[in-house]
Structure 1
């Protein structure tokens, strides 16, 4: 296979015996080493030519130093504050300035008249305001857009002047100045320039090349194939056809794409499977084949998975792309530290426990704080403590980041110290060291910029700045470009040719990206001003795709068919073009996840001798709630009351259902206890109502012990509880009118032994309330959740349902309450019921059997016999504990 670089080298050496005065300009840096090797392979022994990337040539011809990223944002903000009528905070500014700066860069790169463009955008907004009947609130939005474009015009001009005065410039400014300086540069420089392998050119780049060609100081060598160049509707040749018309000497046009090729399209079931499939393909290659293979990642976020999936036969790898900072585990650590201090500002100077845990659990240094983490976690669980003052944290190692830092500048300094200190505590891999160095450089740069420009307002602003850095910067890999397997992004394939190509993420929405423009300028205005739109961007991706495979012999295209992922499971339209238009046969392969034969689902637990012993112990102290659990689901009963499996103690930031119920019960007990054995009167209820807010507030604090329980969601929960308590008091107050209501007991502990045939058990429980209503004793169970009256109504002939119907679980509890009371008061009659607190409209509902509500010891016996049947079932060794479905 004759590569494009090999053809270029032969052409240049044919025209020049010495390359001392030759400069070769390429789209990116990666191909330079391949050019040098190609020249040496031609037995050339003279002085090597100079190599420039297009970026380097523009910088050499301009008088400005390139500025980008965070330093440019700071400079832009200092200009923005001077020209904006009402300047936004830096926190809000950095959310939109990267996009606007990209638009500024496009305007300069394409030599667009910025004033005309911005005025047209502003005029368009004015016309919308004039011509449309504006809805309420819509007018202000349009006015904001109008103000934005007016500001952008001033901002663009002022920013350029500000940067030029400092000898700085963003990429577009440098390109424009390079064109202006071209004639002077040519006069002072004797080199002849070869522009090799370009496709899409900005207007400034094209003007520069034209000037060099007109003075006979340059030539262009194009990497084109007649397959897409000569087809007017093939988007891969869109830019090349333009250059063919406007730029002299069009070399080279090949016909390699039409040569026999072996194409395979592989459908992967998910994102990570693509990496596994690529690794499987690579595992079958011989060493000499690996050196001629490119693994191209259309979605560069797949890189970590690909690196983890490389087979043992891949000994050397050259990764030419960078890995986005936001995908590095170390980035999450530093983000957690910033969040720790950002939220400390919100919570009165205390660290929030979840933020602390997020830092302490990070792999970067979790090994140093195991004891401290366990201690803090114990406090969280036992004391329900959610906030910790910096002075409470007795860290001895790497403790600077846990100080009560006052501002972002102090935090940046402590982060730098932390990086220096941790190197002495832990051995890092080469990759980890490189990551640490990169973040250290970022924090040093941030400190310098804050010192030169201005202090960041708060930790929240610093957090947003850090997120923008993660989104825009990457950690670049450095390797030997001519050894081993080449792993590339799509842009890095320019000028390079491989015999074998493996391409991943060949999905619509990834290759090409489609309509995902990062711009504030609407499509029609970009088109009118000859700025690139998503259509031109799609053409660029099309060229990269076809160029990557035009000289290969074999290509494997892998795409993600998962409809819930990026690309929605749709293969790229470039693959469909190959299938429909190319002369090549394409093999389709569908890989699905291996189907695992479902095993028989385990339905229950056997009653072993050990479990039977636990049942005997349980029978000595049976709580109504344990039987309720069994009626609802035997497995829950088995795990909770026999295996003693309890939910782990966790901090409740917001009162859960159990805590909510406990607070309600305790409030009602404390509110009513002073009036036990008294006839409740309207005057007493006035006292109870007056006392309610104080009691409720204290119970909230008792259950949620951190600094201030009544914040956020707890304020709503408190309102819910208060409403329940008011409902309860209101129902009591309403029911006592003309009646006699006396409270006899609150949270009353009761017990009773029960004999049935050979069965002897002891019941134990706590009855929420015992009262006397017109001389009739009532046993009351408070209910804070949902409740249906039918759940305690046992119909005639349906008594057996107590044993099998989970809906009757609450009825079982009320029956046991009645029995415990009546066993001590055999001459009494009692009502046992539910006091629903959730809804004001629901009245007290009492246990009913055969339309009777009042039970004596004789009336309760038939119901207790059914309760005994449940206990006999539990102790029966032949009946397993099975899940109720």
Structure 2
């Protein structure tokens, strides 16, 4: 696009003004926003204009100047209003007030701007609620009764607030509009200024009156940017307001309606992309821009419009290596930066402390320790704290322990419950000051500075009142101050690629427009309008509804693309979570109502899974050295790991890697097993090497609860609070029941006359095993048995399991060789028990020639241990072991075979 076509609407305005005899400096250009000013100045410079510049004003600034009132908004207004409301209803606190006042304030401003009188609307709402209540029992809990009381209070409160504000020469935006009604006639008659209203689409009633009066006094001109496409078609919502303005009597032959053009019908390349995901849209930008750069290497006539501000970071990431010159008009939302997120989590922590000042939840603490700027001296303190959490699985941290572990951290004062929240504001200000003195990035410095400014401002404003402040109210106030704040980027607005929001595009034209998130709910916003006023009330009193707001967004959309030649519309087609995956109806309108052909593309991020290359580890010389060490201390669990996945065996036994311990909010199966296992060991320790009596076992049963507490706090290093609530309380109760049933099983055996003697607990048993292989003649087994006892003189090796006991049957399999039939992870318990039997019979620890080996499952503890059967025999001697030990031998030799690599077991072999 040539220089004269870029921002053609602004060029047309300037040409019109320069062609008139009236000096430009006597004009005031009234604009929807400040953004176009820099472009207007550039156009004047290009046209060699050497006179004094005109005055630039937004329409809000003009109305405020005419009214003579100072606008009050945000926190200042909220606190001022609450002071007034307390005199009407002294029972409501600030926290409750802040829940409804911001929404009511928007409604009140709309009443003042659009209706003839706000009192008429208030009277109507009160009367409407009275009618709904008529004939009903007026109980306090009735919803209609609550609504009636609400509007009854508003009839008193809002007039009182207006009166109090006017006494201070203060006003809300709505009050400024209302005040203008009384001043507009006098102003338009007496002003000597000449006003040029540029690019407006929708005026409020008082703005219309102001513009009309100025036109009547020949002190104003209006320049509209309209197109025949949506002006001539009465169904087209984009032209809703402009179609009304065309018929103003102030527009005539001598003062025509400027301008209606026919640019939308010109040929356009419109491409629509359905993309699977929000961020995925930004990944298409390099592809689109590469096409456009062939025509314009600087992309100065190109705008990327983000309808979702959260897409700014991924958009910048996609553009970082592609664009030399970039101007970002929209700011980066302050609420999305790391310090803002940390502050949000800090307030969440304080709210939890306000509810229950007894213990800290680890999930509230860890994010803060990770994200809050820390002093270098804080690092070892935080590390020690994290180690304690992992070692003791501290989900809930007592106040005492929290003080012991973290009291020396530099920002400890903001992590504890404050004396009062006015003092807490001072602590936050001090913390921000300290953080800014540390080595942090420029963005973090700006982020922290904005919060510091907000805290100081809030503290100063609160000092004027005597409100009782709680943490929730403080959080709402702080959020209000920073939620709409942004960090602006530096850039060159007159060249390069433009990155902006939709409202920043007003009055500007681009040859190439790329728009992201063109979804229903984003464009237009639809019925996402927070209000206490029903649709019919808003409509009947002339206030904007979602329909008028949709029309405003429709105009911005069509106006932006009406002069563009290349239009790229991207929308998220993924239906998940809050995403409806529906393209904007504006896209459908273009497709159905205009003559422009649309090119539709579906960009599916899903792809056919690649054939995964399984990890394969060669047995190098270094690996074989490790295996030589390993074969002298083979545990049954090592072989089971290999059967599950050879890669895990390599990681664990060769590389000695272990997964880090993770905090468990709910006790895992493994730790549940440990809890029962360790408690059994503790309980039976005093019963070793004696024939158990009924009295011994009765006393042991009575000690179960005491033993559980001991194991929890001393062995597992868990906090007792961990087991006092939720599922963990149930797990502890189940553990106690399991222990009782195991002891009861032993007690029942003794009561029936059996002789029971506990020989060892957690006993290490070892034995050599001869492989009859020249390279590896023998290996050495080394394992730990949970319990060894004698029942009626028979030696028993017992292993505790949280899982169910398997079949535990070993017999020849005609479909498999003897050396291979245990080569399956389903035989893991059999492999373990066979090795235990071998060690028991070959270690020399026991004189017995037979042994029983079994699994005692915590799933059904009352059944006692289930015994391994080899060839139909539960009493196993050395001859019985010959068959299963052939398979064990084969497993070991495969592991030691240098020619057989460690190959990862696929997650689902049937798929590969």
Deviation track 1:680-720 (CA, whole Å, cap 9, x = no partner) reads 56654543343222222232223245595445554344334
Query: 1:4-15 to 2 correspondence within 5 Å?
Result: 4-12=9-17
Q: Tell whether the 8 Å contact from 2:761 to 2:786 is kept in structure 1 after alignment.
A: yes
Match of 2:859 in 1: 838
Matched, 1:611 2:646: no
2:69 aligned to which of 64, 70, 81: 64
The answer for the alignment partner of 2:313 in structure 1 is: 304
- 2:241 and 2:339 map into 1 onto residues whose CA distance is 41
Q: Does 1:102 align with 2:106?
A: yes
CA distance in 2, matches of 1:726, 1:112: 80
Rounded Cα–Cα distance in structure 2 between residues aligned with 1:138 and 1:285: 71
When residues 403 and 748 of structure 1 are mapped into structure 2, their CA distance, relative to the original with a 3 A threshold, is closer
- Which residue in the other structure is 2:254 paired with? none
Q: 1:848 to 1:164 in 2, by over 3 A?
A: farther
Q: 2:425 aligns with which of 412, 431, 455?
A: 412
Look up the match of 2:584.
572
SS of aligned partner of 1:645? coil
CA distance in 1, matches of 2:495, 2:152: 54
Select 1:778's aligned residue among 787, 796, 814: 796
Equivalent positions of 1:338-417 (< 5 A) are 338-339=347-348, 357-362=366-371, 370-381=379-390, 387=397, 389=402, 392-393=405-406, 406-417=419-430
Instruction: Tell me if structure 1 keeps the 8 A contact 2:616–2:904.
Output: yes
Of 707, 727, 738, the residue aligned with 1:724 is 738
Residue 502 of structure 1, CA deviation: 2.8
**Which position in structure 2 is the counterpart of 1:291?**
300
Deviates more, 1:364-373 or 1:645-654: 364-373
Is the Cα–Cα contact under 8 Å of residues 708 and 736 in structure 2 kept in the other structure? yes
SS of structure 2 residue aligned to 1:24: strand
Quick one: distance in 1 between partners of 2:63 and 2:698?
A: 85
Give the distance between the partners of 1:730 and 1:246, measured in 2 at CA: 96
Deviation at 1:229, TM superposition (A): 0.5
Residue 543 (structure 1) shift: 0.6
Asked if 1 retains the 8 angstrom alpha-carbon contact of 2:852 and 2:875, the reply is yes
- Whole-Å separation in 2 of the counterparts to 1:740 and 1:129: 80
Q: Deviations over 1:80-127 (max 9, x none)?
A: 54545752561x554554333323332322226555555665676777
- The answer to whether 1:751 aligns with 2:765 is yes
Structure 2 CA distance for partners of 1:368 and 1:775, relative to 1, 3 Å: closer
Match of 2:826 among 807, 813, 829: 807
81-90 or 56-65: which moved more?
81-90
Structure 2: runs of 5 or more not aligned: 252-256
Return the alpha-carbon distance in structure 1 between the equivalents of residues 171 and 134 of structure 2: 39
Distance, in Å, in 2 between the alignment partners of 1:98 and 1:108 is 15
- The answer to whether the 8 A contact 1:344-1:352 is kept is no
Aligned to 1:75: 80
The 8 Å contact of residues 226 and 255 in structure 1, kept in 2 or not, is answered as: yes
Q: For 1:355-414, what per-residue CA distance to the aligned partner results, in whole angstroms no more than 9, with x for missing partners?
A: 555345449568775555445444545565675645755868788757885444444334
Report the Cα offset of residue 540 of structure 1.
1.4
State the shift of 1:337 in Å. Answer: 4.8
Name the CA distance, whole Å, in 2 between partners of 1:148 and 1:822.
86
User: Judging changes above 3 Å, is the alpha-carbon distance between structure 1 residues 707 and 699 closer, same or farther for their aligned structure 2 residues?
Assistant: closer
Taking the TM superposition and a 5 Å limit, the aligned residue runs for 1:226-305 are 226-246=228-248, 248-249=250-251, 250-268=257-275, 270-282=277-289, 284=293, 290-305=299-314
> Does the Cα contact within 8 Å between 1:622 and 1:764 map onto a contact in 2?
yes
CA, structure 1 residues 518+727, in 2 after alignment: closer, same or farther (shift >3 Å)? Answer: farther
RMSD: 4.0
Question: What per-residue deviation string (whole Å, max 9, x for no partner) do you get for residues 744-800 of structure 1?
Answer: 14524141324445253333323222344444443332222x31x443234564795
Which residue of structure 2 aligns with residue 494 of structure 1? 506
1:27 to 32, 47, 51: 32
CA contact under 8 A between 1:292 and 1:498: conserved in structure 2?
yes
Could you tell me which residue of structure 2 aligns to residue 641 of structure 1? 653
Alignment of 1:539-688 (within 5 A): 539-564=551-576, 568-588=580-600, 598=610, 601-652=613-664, 655-677=667-689, 683-688=695-700
Q: Distance in 2 between matches of 1:777 and 1:128?
A: 84
1:111 alignment counterpart: 115
**Alpha carbons of structure 1 residues 105 and 285: separation in structure 2 relative to 1, 3 Å:** farther
Q: How big is each residue's C-alpha offset from its partner over 1:8-64, in whole Å with a ceiling of 9 and x where there is no partner? A: 344455666135554332211222344455566667665544322121122112243
Q: 1:426 aligns with which of 439, 447, 462?
A: 439
Greater CA drift, 595-604 or 742-751:
595-604
Deviation of 1:176 after TM superposition, in Å, equals 1.9
SS in 2 for 1:190: coil
> Residue 324 of structure 1: CA displacement?
1.6
Instruction: State the distance in 2 between where 1:88 and 1:725 align.
Output: 53
**Which residue in the other structure is 1:880 paired with?**
901
Give the TM-score normalised by structure 1: 0.87
1:223–1:253 CA contact under 8 A, matched in 2: yes
Give the drift of 1:804: 2.1
Change (3 A) 1:576 1:420: same
Where 1:501 maps in the other structure, the secondary structure is strand
TM-fit CA distance, 1:226: 1.0
CA distance in 1 between counterparts of 2:632 and 2:319 reads 63
How many residue pairs were aligned?
879
Gapped runs of 5+ residues in structure 1? none
After TM superposition, the structure 1 stretch with the greater mean CA deviation from structure 2, 268-277 or 23-32, is: 268-277
Question: What corresponds to 2:195 in structure 1?
Answer: 193
Matched residue SS, 1:245: coil
CA shift, 1:222, in A, is 1.9
Structure 1 residue 501: Cα displacement = 2.5
- The 10-residue stretch of structure 1 (856-865 or 689-698) with the greater mean CA deviation from structure 2: 856-865
**What is the CA–CA distance in structure 1 between the aligned matches of 2:121 and 2:242, rounded to whole Å?**
27
In the aligned structure 1, how far is the partner of 2:539 from the partner of 2:746? 75
Give deviations 1:628-685, integer Å, cap 9, x for gaps: 3233333322322333211224455654333322221121222233334556566545
Cα shift at 1:611:
2.8
Paired residues of 1:741 and 1:774 also in contact (CA < 8 A): yes
Q: Deviation of residue 344 (structure 1)?
A: 6.2
- Answer yes or no: is 1:205 the counterpart of 2:207: yes
In structure 1, distance between residues paired with 2:511 and 2:638: 72
Give how far 1:175 is off.
1.8
Match of 1:321 in 2: 330
Out of 220-229 and 462-471, give the one that drifted further.
462-471
Contact in 1 for aligned 2:94/2:468 (Cα 8 Å): no
Q: CA deviation at 1:162?
A: 4.2
Q: In the aligned structure 1, how far is the partner of 2:694 from the partner of 2:143?
A: 57
Query: Hey, what's the Cα distance between the residues in 1 that align with 2:609 and 2:812?
Result: 48
Give the aligned partner of residue 793 of structure 1: 809
Q: What's the offset of the Cα at 1:423? A: 4.0
Distance 1:132 1:882, change over 3 A: farther
The answer to whether the 8 A contact 1:30-1:481 is kept is no
Given that 1:225 and 1:255 are in contact with CA atoms closer than 8 Å, whether structure 2 keeps it comes out as yes
